[in-house]
Structure 1
Amino acid sequence: MTRRTPSVKARWLTALPFAHRGLHDGNRSVPENSLAAAHAAIEAGYGIECDLQFCADGVPIVFHDDVLERLTGRSGSVRDLTSQEATALTLCGTDEPVPLFAELLALVAGRVPLLVELKACPERDATGFVEAVVAALQNYDGPLALMSFDYGLVDACRGRAPSSVPVGLTAEGSQPDELSAHDDALAKGFDFVSYDHAAMPNAFLDEVAARGLHILCWTIRSEAEASRARQTADQITFEGFRPSI
């Protein structure tokens, strides 16, 4: 695959491996997407990948799943809760609460790069979700990128995020229809892609590389996987081991 000269805006994206949902321990004592997992990543010198969901009161929280049960033991949808109700819940049987996005930003404070994935939400809420995320970034001074699987959220981020914030597509798949849909998103423009390592390389990523855009990948779980992934990707998102920096 042809390598390329990184864009100035997104060059920091390749500097460090990203700890997937923070440097957690498989949700035993340091849960994913917790402030404890973020702190552990900072202490170890890794970047942080995290997920955002949109609460009923329009406030973004750091949480991966659409439903609450796996991470909190409670039934129901995360989007039916207000942010106050969500942050009163604890993660995976620990004392760690569900964090607000604003709390994560305050903790990280620009010390390591942040790779922030916006989880898909109802189309009627997409603009409000992005606007709430962008509002939280107004006073944030540090390397941070936004991304999503949702093409509509990627477009909304491109239209509303500050020009200094790279916007990327999170993606997977190797079938022709999947790659064609990604090509359509590429035609609209983004700064990088974060791809499922199991589907690399592919023709879509060849085109991403040809355009001089960064390729990240997820989720790497061993040094052997990391070595293979780096034949295509510029940087990895990892969990379950500690890659060299």
Structure 2
Amino acid sequence: MTPCALPPSFLARPIAHRALHDSNVARVENGMAAIDAAIAGNFGIEIDVQPSRDGQAMVFHDYDLGRLTTTTGAIAQRTAKELSELTYTTGETGIPTLPEVLSRVAGRVPLLIEIKDQDGRMGPNVGPLEHAVAEAISDYTGDVAVMSFNPHAVAKMAQLAPTVPRGLTTSDYRAEDWGLLNATTRARLRGIPDFNRTGACFISHHAAALDDPPVTRLKQRGVAILCWTVTSADMETEARKVADNITFERYVPA
């Protein structure tokens, strides 16, 4: 497995969760206005990608369009062109593709890309979205890293883009938060057993569970620890007792 290293820029400034949105009032999460705001504030940017029907990597968090746009239905059932014409509830138009966001960021701030699980059970049924991401970032010259809750997606990225830093998005996997996963899968993922296998160089862990023993063990090894999602200055202070950097929303860090 090709080793990777997280660029120092990912630890230098807080990372705006789904870009610097305003709780989807005027700047929708993962949208271009939120991306522009994060760049203007000199914050790192975390974004999510989902696939379109025609295999494009779209910058959007949810599997369904209903929470954030004026339409409903699965994002994966619409083409990239159709998605580019949708209207957000904020009034903004167009779900951007990953290449469009890369062009907009243009290396000005570090970009952290979370690949959303497409298997449904954190299993091995992955590939098309990872291929789309790898193709999009293949000639990008700015600081970029990828991560996913699904370790199979991270392992696939190690094959497709071995020099791109990669990490695991991790959690304590409480049953009330992860009802679609069975107890066996939750218990396994809770231990972060795939870190070495995937060639990861960082994790982004649930901020409320940074005292989990697997996180402690990785930190003792010198692994970079990011966390999600910090929502206040007090929470940031507590998280930074363990985390090397935070992903934030609902407030702007000093």
TM-score by length of 1: 0.91
Please state how far the C-alpha of 1:54 moved relative to its aligned partner: 0.8
2:184 matched to 1:186?
no
Are 1:219 and 2:229 counterparts? yes
| Alpha-carbon contact 2:134-2:160 (below 8 Å) kept | yes
The TM-score with structure 2 as length reference comes to 0.88
1:59 correspondence with 2:47: no
Matched, 1:242 2:252: yes
- Please show how residues 142-181 of structure 1 align to structure 2 within 5 Å: 142-163=142-163, 165-173=164-172, 178=186, 180-181=188-189
How far apart in 2 are the matches of 1:190 and 1:97? Answer: 33
Question: What displacement does 1:179 show?
Answer: 6.0
Which has the larger displacement, 94-103 or 178-187?
A: 178-187
Higher helix share: 1
8 Å CA contact 1:31–1:96 kept in 2: the answer is no
5+ residue gaps in structure 1? 1-6
Mapping of residues 19-98 of structure 1, within 5 Å: 19-98=16-95
Letter of the 1:140 counterpart: Y
Over 3 Å counting, the alpha-carbon distance change for 1:93 and 1:222 in structure 2 is closer
| TM superposition outliers: structure 1 runs of 4+ over 3 Å | 7-10, 122-125, 174-180
Contact 1:49 1:117 in 2 (8 A): yes
- SS at 1:184's partner residue? coil
The amino acid across from 2:209 in the alignment is A
Question: Which has the higher mean CA deviation after the structures are superposed, 8-17 or 191-200?
Answer: 8-17
The answer to whether the Cα contact below 8 Å between 2:230 and 2:247 also exists between their aligned partners in 1 is yes
Distance change (3 Å), C-alpha of 1:206 and 1:174: farther
Q: Say which is worse superposed, 125-134 or 189-198, in terms of deviation.
A: 125-134
| Contact 2:5 2:201 survives alignment (8 Å) | no
Q: Tell me the CA shift for residue 25 of structure 1.
A: 0.8
CA contact (8 A) 1:35 1:96 kept: no
C-alpha distance after superposition, 1:156-192 (max 9, x if no partner): 11221141x2101011116796464343212313110
Q: What is the Cα-based RMSD across aligned positions, in Å?
A: 1.9
For residues 180-215 of structure 1, the C-alpha deviation after alignment (integer angstroms, 9 at most, x for no partner) is 434321231311000110112111101211222100
Report the more deviating stretch, 85-94 or 59-68: 85-94
Q: Residues 36 and 96 of structure 1 are in contact (CA less than 8 Å); yes or no, is this contact kept in structure 2?
A: no
**Separation in structure 2 between the aligned mates of residue 242 and residue 93 of structure 1, nearest angstrom:** 20
1:93 shift after superposition: 3.6
Percent identity over the alignment is 37
Letter in 2 for 1:231: K
Q: Is the 8 A contact 2:84 2:93 kept in 1?
A: no
Q: Give the CA deviation at 1:8.
A: 5.2
Aligned length: 237
SS of the residue aligned with 2:246? strand
Query: In 2, distance between residues paired with 1:9 and 1:215?
Result: 11
Q: CA, structure 1 residues 71+88, in 2 after alignment: closer, same or farther (shift >3 Å)?
A: same
**1:100 aligned to which of 93, 97, 101:** 97
Which has the higher mean CA deviation after the structures are superposed, 78-87 or 61-70?
Answer: 78-87
Give the C-alpha shift of residue 23 in structure 1.
0.6
